[in-house]
Amino acid sequence: MTKGLRFGVVVSRFNTEITEALLASCLRRLKDAKAAEPKVVHVPGGFEIPWAAHRLAASGRFDAVICLGCILRGQTPQNGHISRSVFQHLHDISIATGVPCVVGVMTPNTWAQAVARTKGKLDRGVEAAEAGLAMAELRRTLK
């Protein structure tokens, strides 16, 4: 049933080593599921993800939008402010447009935690793709 599902993917360039690993595993999983070739959009950082996600969702061209990023804890509370904003806006976009926006945005405490979540059973890129596939199928079912 996943064959031909259409996805937009928004990926942050901040913490590129992590986000590109998430993107690679996400794209592999979508390909394995025989989804259509996704539209991938890069943005500078986590804060910019919702804007691009909204543009993709509002276009009406996608069954779901998958958002990938890594908002690493720093020495100031900035990561908390950005994370809350990104998560809330992605939820709001999903509700307003009727297009699921999957949150594949990690908020690890350390670089080691981030790296660990790009491979194996903890691979958040695969996890985001799985959630996107499930929500896209559900969206088609509930239309």
Determine contact, residues 23/68, Cβ cutoff 8 Å.
yes
Measure the CA–CA gap between 46 and 29, rounded to whole angstroms. Answer: 22
Per-residue pLDDT of the chain (143 residues; tens, 9 = 90+): 668 899 999 999 999 999 999 999 999 999 999 999 999 999 999 989 999 999 999 999 999 999 999 987 766 666 666 778 888 999 999 999 999 999 999 988 889 999 989 988 889 999 999 999 999 999 999 87
**Top CATH class, 28-142:** alpha beta
Closest CA to 93 of 128, 131, 134, 52: 52
Determine contact, residues 34/2, Cβ cutoff 8 Å.
yes
Which pLDDT does position 58 carry in this prediction? 97
Residue 121, amino acid: K
Measure the CA–CA gap between 7 and 56, rounded to whole angstroms. Answer: 9
Which pLDDT does position 79 carry in this prediction? 65
Q: What is the model's pTM?
A: 0.93
3-state secondary structure 20-71: HHHHHHHHHHHHHCCCCCCEEEEECCHHHHHHHHHHHHHCCCCCEEEEEEEC
Measure the CA–CA gap between 52 and 2, rounded to whole angstroms. Answer: 24
Q: Which residues contact 57 (CB under 8 A, 6 or more apart)?
A: 8, 65, 93, 94, 97, 99, 101
